[in-house]
Structure 1
Amino acid sequence: MERKKITKSFWIKLVSVPILMFFFAYAMVPLYDVLCDITGFNGKTGRVETEKQYQVNEERLVSVSFFAATTPGFPVQFAPKVSSMEVIPGKFYTTSYIAKNTTDEIIYGQAIPSVAPTDAALHFKKLECFCFVKQAFQPNEEVEMTLRFVIEPEMDQWIKDVSLSYNFYKLDS
């Protein structure tokens, strides 16, 4: 049986493929985030920088339900201050979530929002949100975290109920 000689080209390919695979996987997260921002896919919400004026239809009401969850092992109690509210698309509203660190240590976390149905995510805009930045919870501290949002009036008329859910993840300092 004849053995083939291993060439320099073979070694280049052998080393290059795993490196390229690593960089492709690393690039997928920002690419996915851009895709979600553009399409509203995966319930990601948008952001507004100022409280702009929308044309408001006072007769249209949308029910917004608020939900909260934490990842296993994240020692912070986390819940919405109110479970739901009726909103008029085009008007800004303020609500809060309450978080309490149940340990004697400083805990860091980040909240990730999700909106359902996904068609509503394109029109659910936040002016102020605790999810924009990493949160630091002091030992045994209870904090009220503000959310200021608007549902754009362009949202489809068939959408009458919107769910906003946050999942809090533990971060290393």
Structure 2
Amino acid sequence: MSQGRRASLLLDNRRMVGKLAVVALLMFGFGYALVPMYRAICTALGINVLSVSEKAVPGNSKATPANTQVDTSRIVTVEFDANARGPWDFKPAKRYVDVHPGELTTVMYEFKNIQNRTMAAQAIPSYAPKQATPHFNKLECFCFNEYTLKPGESRQWPVVFVIDPKLPKDVKTITLSYTFFEVGGKVAAPVKTQEREPQS
């Protein structure tokens, strides 16, 4: 390879490195600028962007901003029901709570397998009245998941929900009902041992 060709390739490589360095700096700057841009957009749209580090802690002089999505002018009573199709204990920790639409709420459900065998089960939810269904938003739920519980085993599961502020004004009470049933054929039945007759 001639000397001129080598010099040309070296110059091209330096130009490429320079371009890549500029692109990397621009990407870093863009990523750095995203945080204030995101905050400005969310503030303009009224979205709550409070991070964990900004929440009030003991000794922190900054007050926690109010959640503007909560409709404090209304109270909705949410009742909790539990139906168990089988010999086990299943119940909510609370029978009802009063919440504001837009308010984040957590309620625990308790389950215990009181049988002397391992079982697999799952729960399905239902709502009343029906028009409340699209406005009841569950952020965390144990429903539709299958669980295997050993004899005497107890579990607690959270239900985290928010009621949409667009809930019709005439709906003042919502009932969240869970039916917990055994999933057939998921767990093998205990093997019965046959007693041998004593040999003579």
Is 1:109–1:169's contact at 8 Å kept on the other side of the alignment?
A: yes
Q: TM-score w.r.t. structure 2 length?
A: 0.57
After superposition, give the CA deviation of every residue in 1:28-60 in whole Å (9 maximum; x if it has no partner): xxxxxxxxxxxxxxxxxxxxxxx9987221121
Alignment correspondent of 1:143: 155
Distance 1:140 1:148, change over 3 A: same
After superposition, give the CA deviation of every residue in 1:148-170 in whole Å (9 maximum; x if it has no partner): 11111011011000001001111
Higher relative contact order, structure no. (Cα contacts within 8 Å, ≥ 6 residues apart): 1
Aligned with 2:83: secondary structure? strand
Output aligned runs, 1:25-44, within 5 Å. Answer: none
Once superposed, which parts of structure 1, at least 4 consecutive aligned residues long, lie more than 6 Å away? 51-54
1:129 corresponds, among 141, 155, 158, to 141
Mark the structure with the bigger radius of gyration: 2
Instruction: State the alpha-carbon separation in 1 of the partners of residues 103 and 90 from structure 2.
Output: 26
Q: TM-score w.r.t. structure 1 length?
A: 0.66
Alignment correspondent of 1:19: none
After superposition, give the CA deviation of every residue in 1:83-129 in whole Å (9 maximum; x if it has no partner): 00001111110011111101122111110100000000110011111
Is 1:109–1:171's contact at 8 Å kept on the other side of the alignment?
A: yes
Instruction: State the alpha-carbon separation in 1 of the partners of residues 104 and 68 from structure 2.
Output: 10
Aligned with 2:181: secondary structure? strand
Alignment correspondent of 1:62: 76
Gaps of 5+ in 2: 1-47, 50-66, 187-200
The structure that is strand-richer by fraction is: 1
How many residue pairs align between the two structures? 121
Distance 1:54 1:170, change over 3 A: farther
Is 1:54–1:152's contact at 8 Å kept on the other side of the alignment?
A: no
Identity of aligned residues (%): 37
Instruction: State the alpha-carbon separation in 2 of the partners of residues 54 and 106 from structure 1.
Output: 47
